[in-house]
């Protein structure tokens, strides 16, 4: 008689662990000209020839503005406990100044009410890259005034939703807003000015601090205020002094430039020294760092793939393989002497390597950087070439394996002492993937962009089972 195989110990999460999914306004809402909404920088950018794949825009996206009730019902059916969404600034405050448009706020009021009625906790992100175009016309994030306009906007939304929404995120991935928007130009507004990108980074930090103060002035004390950072997990190609210095340069530009002032009240000295050829940092005014370093209730982390760098070979001229789009302009100011490398192994449709160890490394870093603060994974996911089968179902075993591996990394970090309170899968459903248009599908729910029909993929059913039970299902069960 053959002995049965030793059963695998289930990977079980703490009972209060929050299982969610995330989206952003411009990627899903559509209805870009309804109820008083005016153009954001992404409306302008996506309508500029050559800026997005196929000239595609978020004009309709997945029509969430009109289909939100069905989308919330789908989340409830899957068993999600939380939903992170962003507010469209130009839907609420069309010029970026002055009073709110109540019709715009009413959409988010209805969405929050629908979520709460379904037993799903809403988490609001105030800024996910869609600056009102009028503010960009006035100079955008490189201008200091934009930070004060953000604080006014934060107060408006906080007053409208703060009685029912407990989780708040000021900014999503300010690195992308600053450096992809103002240095490499692959994101809106498409500018390519390294000095402006560093000013933008500081003013985004200032906006976070001012916005945090504004939110707390109008919301119940029980509410949590955080920021979502996409600090790179930077690994040197070798342990040579030159490669280690290259890794430090990129780490400062991706992480230290934000968590330095936000968590510690100072920019890294190595960052200031390395970028001295681009800016003298005179845009940092007296008192700014104190404003930026507001006490936080949590830190939110977004992770997709690690970054491998080395000192550049002066004799070689190879395309920059940093995973952040093709451009003749670098998103890394004063780092032209750094080379980026593709790690070996499996990759997603974005060309990003699949490496859950990087998520564990990132969590443990912030466990040290922000001792005592709860952590949330506010984005993690993968794009694959998903297609419906003959029976209409969508099987995505690669995404199931990706989620399983990364959730195991989260659980290992919890076991290692990190206070990780929740995980938001990116993304709830396929959507407008910025400059990639509709080519890249990150969703756990498949969207037919013509009919707008939603079809949960295998990964959505697998993740929903994990959310309902608090235990990772067998990967093989996703095919059932």
Closest alpha carbon to 220 in 286, 161, 179: 161
**How far apart are the C-alpha atoms of 159 and 153, rounded to whole Å?**
10
Q: Which residues contact 269 (CB under 8 A, 6 or more apart)?
A: none
Question: What is the distance between the alpha carbons of residues 25 and 58, in angstroms, rounded to a whole number?
Answer: 9
148 is in an annotated binding site: no
From 379, 398, 439, 480, the catalytic residue: 379
The burial class, CB within 10 Å (0-12 / 13-18 / 19+), for 300 is: buried
Sign of CA dihedral 112, 116, 118, 123: positive
Say how far apart CA 175 and CA 200 lie, in whole Å: 9
Whether 369 has a binding-site annotation, put simply, is no
Place of tokens 């750094």: 338
Q: Is 195 helix (H, G, I), strand (E, B) or coil?
A: helix
In angstroms, rounded to a whole number, what is the distance separating the alpha carbons of residues 239 and 237? 7
CA angle in degrees (0–180, nearest 5) for 404-410-411: 90
Active site residue 476: no
Can you tell me the distance from the alpha carbon of 36 to that of 45, in angstroms, rounded to the nearest whole number? 20
User: Of 19, 18, 21, 17, which is closest to residue 445 (Cα–Cα)?
Assistant: 21
173 is catalytic: yes
Structure tokens of 344?
A: 């070996």
Pairing of strands 82-86, 420-426: unpaired
172 is in an annotated binding site: yes
Q: Classify 18 as helix, strand or coil.
A: strand
The single residue of 29, 56, 136, 173 carrying the catalytic annotation is 173
Of 94, 85, 111, 200, nearest to 156 by C-alpha is 94
H or E element that contains 456: strand 454-456
CA distance 365 to 163: 33
Looking up tokens 């507010």 gives 87
Is 264 part of any known ligand binding site?
no
Could you give the 3-state DSSP secondary structure of residue 218? helix
User: Residue 465 is encoded by which pair of tokens?
Assistant: 């089972």
Q: What are phi and psi of 464, to 5 degrees?
A: -60, -40
Residues 6+ apart with CB under 8 A from 399: 381, 382, 384, 386, 444, 457, 458, 459
Q: Is position 426 annotated in a ligand binding site?
A: yes
Residues in contact with 396: Cβ distance below 8 Å, sequence separation at least 6, in sequence order = 384, 386, 457, 458, 459
To the question of whether residue 433 is assigned a binding role by annotation, the answer is: yes
Residue 187 is labelled as binding a ligand:
no
Q: Which residues are catalytic?
A: 173, 379
Q: Binding site membership for substrate: which residues?
A: 27, 128, 172, 304, 426, 433-434
Binding residues: 27, 128, 172, 304, 426, 433-434
């Amino acid at each position: 008689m053959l002995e049965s195989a030793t059963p695998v110990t289930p990977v079980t999460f703490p009972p209060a662990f929050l299982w969610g999914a995330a989206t952003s306004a411009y990627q899903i809402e559509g209805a870009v000209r309804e109820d008083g909404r005016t153009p954001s920088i992404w409306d302008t950018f996506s309508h500029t020839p050559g800026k997005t794949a196929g000239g595609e825009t978020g004009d309709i996206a997945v029509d969430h503005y009109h289909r939100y009730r069905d989308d919330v019902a789908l989340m409830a059916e899957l068993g999600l406990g939380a939903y992170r969404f962003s507010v469209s600034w130009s839907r609420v405050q069309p010029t970026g100044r002055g009073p709110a448009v109540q019709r715009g706020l009413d959409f988010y009021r209805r969405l929050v009410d629908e979520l709460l009625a379904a037993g799903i906790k809403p988490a609001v992100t105030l800024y996910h890259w869609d600056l009102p175009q009028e503010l960009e016309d006035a100079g955008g994030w490189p201008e200091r005034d934009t930070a004060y306009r953000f604080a006014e906007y934060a107060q408006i939304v906080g007053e409208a939703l703060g009685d029912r929404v407990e989780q708040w995120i000021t900014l999503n991935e300010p690195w992308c807003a600053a450096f992809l928007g103002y240095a490499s130009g692959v994101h809106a507004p498409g500018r390519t000015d390294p000095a402006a990108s560093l000013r933008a980074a500081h003013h985004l930090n200032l906006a976070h601090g001012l916005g945090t103060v504004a939110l707390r002035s109008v919301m119940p004390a029980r509410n949590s205020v955080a920021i979502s950072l996409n600090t790179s997990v930077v690994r040197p190609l070798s342990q040579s002094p030159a490669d280690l210095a290259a890794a430090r340069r990129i780490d400062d530009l991706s992480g230290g430039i934000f968590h330095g002032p936000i968590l510690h009240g100072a920019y890294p000295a190595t960052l200031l020294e390395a970028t001295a050829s681009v800016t003298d940092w005179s845009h940092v005014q007296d008192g700014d760092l104190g404003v930026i370093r507001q006490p936080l209730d949590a830190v939110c982390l977004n992770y997709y793939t690690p970054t491998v760098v080395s000192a550049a070979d002066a004799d070689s001229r190879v395309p920059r393989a940093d995973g952040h789009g093709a451009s003749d302009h670098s998103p890394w100011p004063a780092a032209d002497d750094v080379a980026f490398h593709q790690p070996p192994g499996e990759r997603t449709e974005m060309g990003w390597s699949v490496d859950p160890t990087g998520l564990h490394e990132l969590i443990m870093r912030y466990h040290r950087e922000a001792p005592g603060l709860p952590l949330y994974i506010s984005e993690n996911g993968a794009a694959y070439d998903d297609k419906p089968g003959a029976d209409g179902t969508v099987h995505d075993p690669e995404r199931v394996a990706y989620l399983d591996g990364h959730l195991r990394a989260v659980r290992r970090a919890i076991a290692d002492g990190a206070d990780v309170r929740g995980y938001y899968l990116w993304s709830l459903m396929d959507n407008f993937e910025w400059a990639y248009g509709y080519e890249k599908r990150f969703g756990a729910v498949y969207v037919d962009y013509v009919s707008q029909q939603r079809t949960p993929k295998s990964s959505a059913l697998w993740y929903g089972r994990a959310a309902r039970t608090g235990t990772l299902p067998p990967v093989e069960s996703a095919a059932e």
